[in-house]
């Protein structure tokens, strides 16, 4: 009966070794793809930061994008039209 226990122990060690080897192979195969994703993320971060700096510069110079309907202080919310100095009327739907 001792040989059965020894055989089971050797089998378990073999399976554990296979799991470790498979993990290492998978990680090695995945590393180039992860590096590509990391570099793309870093490039996007740089582009976003450059766009933020450009937007701040334009806003400072007064060349920034103008707020659209409902985008500025005192503008009516989307879907409503200012009918008078203090009244709001619902927008008419044509169709």
Q: Sign of torsion, CA 31 34 38 39?
A: positive
Model pLDDT for residues 49-76, shown as the tens digit of each residue: 999 999 998 888 876 555 555 455 555 5
Q: Which residues contact 65 (CB under 8 A, 6 or more apart)?
A: 58
Comparing CA positions, the residue from 80, 51, 77 lying closest to residue 65 is 51
- pLDDT higher than 70, residue 89: no
Q: Sign of torsion, CA 51 56 60 63?
A: positive
DSSP character string of 40-62: HHHHHHHHHHHHHHHHHHHHHHT
pLDDT for position 39: 94
pTM beyond cutoff 0.75: no
């Amino acid at each position: 009966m001792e040989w059965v226990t020894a055989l089971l122990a050797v089998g378990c060690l073999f399976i554990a070794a296979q799991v470790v080897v498979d993990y290492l192979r998978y990680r090695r195969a995945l590393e180039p793809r992860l590096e590509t994703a990391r570099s793309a993320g870093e490039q996007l971060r740089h582009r976003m930061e450059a766009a933020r700096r450009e937007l701040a510069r334009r806003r400072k110079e007064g060349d920034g994008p103008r707020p659209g309907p409902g985008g500025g202080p005192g503008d009516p919310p989307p879907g409503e039209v200012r009918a008078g100095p203090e009244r709001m009327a619902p927008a008419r739907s044509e169709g």
